[in-house]
Amino acid sequence: MKTRQGCPPSAWLIWVALVSLCSLAPVAVARRVSVKRADYHGWPDSLIIGNGQVEAVIVPAVGRVMQFRFAGEAGPWWENRALDGRAPDPQATIWGNFGGDKAWPAPQADWPTVAERGWPPPPAFDSMPVTASVSAGTVELVSPVDPHYGIRARRRIQLDPERPVMTITTAYEKVAGEPKRVAVWVVTQLQDPVGVYLPLPQASRYPEGYNRQSRELPPGLKVESGLLSLTRDPKASHKIGSDAGTLLWVGEKYVLRIDSPRVPEAEYPDQGSSAEVYTNPDPAAYVELEMLGPLSTLRVGERITRTSTYTLRRRTEKGATDEARKLLSR
């Protein structure tokens, strides 16, 4: 007996099997990412998105991605456990510092004029619950419209189906009010590191490779062979800016890389910074790895977007700097 194109039955069956496998492959990949609801540290209706290797914990009640970790393990992101289960207060005069990852409007220097206060951050960006929706393994968070900026933040969180990689795309949508000049500013709080590293551009806009944003520099800051490194000072806060597009946090067990490539020739806030590092003193032992997008004047109906890619690794090198140079090819 002959079948299609004169193939014997055995060859025909093999061909049908291969076609079936190919047609099912996208579905199989999509199913590797799961989303489940959970009570996380007293916040009901939190979401955990996982791919079998890593998982991200999302808490709509406080508008944050609270953790990114290897499945079943403690994560490197800093969380303020003293505020577990509490609701944010948009009228508070003291910052409700929950930890995790959030998006603010830059530059901060404009807050006193636009938001009528220099601190805490504008309420809809930081201290109001957000709406969460789930579709095909992707979680989307949508904030209320900020009463001062007239902007709504929309954040799309996705995991790679096969790798320990998360992407968060943040969009600012101008809904009401006068035009506002603004940039997307993503702030990720992480536990006390062994070291923080920035691979500097070959032709940095800064003679020293960074710009000073605090009175004093971190005591351990140094630049060597195109790599800036620093550690947290337990006694004082410090902040620097850079024109880098990558930030690297190295801990005792894990390494977190954040990528958000700089847009050439674009205007950036904070003396032209596309990446910033803030270190906090004791007793809250954390650092902030911050990525900024270009400045844009938003009018009603317009939007800007910025994507950050987070890659989580396990330490393989004895020295933190050796680890950084290996991952950054420096």
pLDDT, one tens digit per residue, over 233-285 is 999 999 999 999 999 999 999 999 999 999 999 999 999 999 999 999 999 99
pLDDT confidence of 330, banded at 50, 70, 90? confident
The fold of the 34-328 domain, in CATH, is Beta-galactosidase; Chain A, domain 5 (2.70.98)
pLDDT at 143 over 50: yes
pLDDT, one tens digit per residue, over 209-236 is 999 999 999 888 999 999 999 999 999 9
Rounded mean pLDDT of 309-320? 97
Three-state SS annotation for the chain:
CCCHHHCCHHHHHHHHHHHHHHHHHHHHHHCCCEEEEEEECCEEEEEEEECCCEEEEEEHHHCEEEEEEECCCCCCECECHHHCCCCCCCCCCCCCCCECEEEEEECHHHHHHHCCCCCCCCHHHHCCCCEEEEECCEEEEECCCCCCCCEEEEEEEEECCCCCEEEEEEEEEECCCCCEEEEEEEEEEEECCCEEEEECCCCCCCCCCCEECCCCCCCCCEEECCEEEECCCCCCCEEEEECCCEEEEECCCEEEEEECCCCCCCCCHHHHCCEEEEECCCCCCEEEEEEECCCEEECCCCEEEEEEEEEEEECCCCCHHHHHHHHHCC
pLDDT confidence of 54, banded at 50, 70, 90? very high
pLDDT, one tens digit per residue, over 4-19 is 334 444 444 344 344 4
pTM equals 0.90
pLDDT attached to residue 31? 56
Rounded mean pLDDT of 44-49? 97
Rounded mean pLDDT of 134-138? 95
User: Domains of the chain: which residue ranges?
Assistant: 34-328
pLDDT, one tens digit per residue, over 83-108 is 999 999 999 999 999 999 999 999 99
